[in-house]
Amino acid sequence: MNVFCRQTESKRTRRLTAGLTAALVAAVISSALASVPLGVRDDFDYTDTRARTTGVELDYVAGQLVFHLGTDSTALPVVAVGDNPRFAAGEVPDDEFLADTLPGVTLEVRAGTLYSVRLEHEAASLSDVIDAYLTRLAGLGFEATHAGDAGNVQVYEFDNGEGALRAVFTPTGEGGRAYITTL
């Protein structure tokens, strides 16, 4: 009986050790994967008082995911920008993160570095917003993993082998909100 107990205990120890080793390897691999830095290129016309939406495009340039506002691109659903703020010609502030003043755009900046971007997209449904991001980021070399959901909230992680980022999608009355953040 003692031999059986020692063998069972030995098997449990090996399984526990193997499980802990696998967890440690996974933690090291995930911590070694860098976050994808974010950037914004703002070509929105802040003097146009008629614009209520703007096009947005995503590009991956020099290891940075860049949100390009003010484009005619239809790769992603348009972003609601409301009617404020607007400036007279020649009075538009020179601010790298001026887009944060638009109602449908929120930029979270930490120590001068863009940490997250939240965009309010106008679309027929949240799934249209999610599908557009999945398609565009796949085109930029990112692989998507559905990381979870809670009710209407959908969470994805995107990895391109060089780095990763997380996206949280929530429905709005006009379409969907995309919150993209570095990990």
Does 23 share its domain with 44?
Answer: no
**What's the average model confidence in pLDDT over 131-136?**
98
Greatest mean pLDDT among 31-35, 79-83, 160-164: 160-164
Does 26 share its domain with 42?
Answer: no
Does 114 share its domain with 147?
Answer: yes
pLDDT of residue 41: 95
Does 22 share its domain with 40?
Answer: no
> Out of 30-34, 35-39, 74-78, 152-156, which region has the weakest mean confidence (pLDDT)?
30-34
Does 8 share its domain with 74?
Answer: no
Does 13 share its domain with 42?
Answer: no
Banded model confidence at residue 12, pLDDT cuts 50, 70, 90: very low
> What is the pTM assigned to this prediction?
0.80
Residue pair 169/180 in contact by the 8 Å Cβ criterion:
no
pLDDT of residue 9: 46
pLDDT of residue 5: 47
- Among residues 56, 35, 47, 34, the alpha carbon closest in space to that of 118 is found at 56
Does 26 share its domain with 50?
Answer: no
Does 21 share its domain with 73?
Answer: no
pLDDT in tens, 94-128: 899 999 999 999 999 999 999 999 999 999 999 99
pLDDT of residue 18: 37
Does 1 share its domain with 77?
Answer: no
Percent of the chain with pLDDT over 90: 71
Does 87 share its domain with 137?
Answer: yes
Residue pair 152/145 in contact by the 8 Å Cβ criterion:
no
Does 3 share its domain with 84?
Answer: no
Residue 21's domain spans which residues? Answer: 1-32
Banded model confidence at residue 10, pLDDT cuts 50, 70, 90: very low
Split into its structural domains, the chain has a count of 2
Q: For residue 49, which amino acid is it?
A: T
pLDDT in tens, 28-46: 334 456 899 999 999 999 9
Does 80 share its domain with 114?
Answer: yes
Task: Reply yes or no on whether the pLDDT at 89 is more than 80.
Answer: yes
